[in-house]
């Protein structure tokens, strides 16, 4: 999100190259971090993380919670999604090269 704000608010100052490098580096960092989570869960014997953010409703036999669950499937999907996003960001450098809304576009897809 930080790179999206940088590309959106400061796109005219940092130029086209600054906008795409800021967003590509951020997505690349997300890919690396998600790969580390995948490695931890698959190869290092890590356990799934379950974090409850909010308890929404409690009845006699049912407790509804809002939260995060990071297990092996979640980690695998994080790697797939961030890798595809990284490839899209890299491809769009050439595809959007002559577009007048270049910086804004990179802000939106980031």
Q: What is the pLDDT of residue 91?
A: 92
Beta bridge partners of 55: 65
Number of domains in the chain: 1
In percent, how much of the chain has pLDDT > 70?
Answer: 100
Q: What is the pLDDT of residue 41?
A: 95
> What mean pLDDT, rounded, does the chain reach?
89
At residue 17, does pLDDT exceed 90?
no
Domain residues for the domain of 21 are 2-109
104 pLDDT tier (thresholds 50, 70, 90)? confident
The answer to whether the CB of 19 falls within 8 A of the CB of 106 is: yes
pLDDT, one tens digit per residue, over 33-80 is 999 999 999 999 899 999 999 999 999 889 999 999 999 999 999 999
pTM: 0.81
CA dihedral 80, 82, 88, 91 (to 10 degrees): -100
> Hey, how many other C-beta atoms are within 10 angstroms of the C-beta on 7?
26
């Amino acid at each position: 999100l930080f790179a999206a704000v940088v590309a959106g608010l400061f796109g005219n100052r940092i130029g086209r190259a600054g906008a795409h490098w800021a967003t590509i580096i951020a997505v690349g960092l997300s890919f690396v971090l998600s790969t580390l989570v995948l490695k931890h869960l698959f190869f290092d014997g890590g356990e799934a993380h379950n974090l409850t953010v909010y308890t929404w409703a409690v009845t006699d036999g049912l407790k509804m919670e809002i939260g995060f669950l990071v297990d092996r499937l979640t980690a695998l999907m994080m790697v797939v999604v961030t890798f595809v996003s990284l490839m899209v960001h890299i491809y769009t450098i050439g595809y959007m090269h002559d577009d007048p809304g270049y910086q804004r576009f990179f802000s939106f897809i980031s």
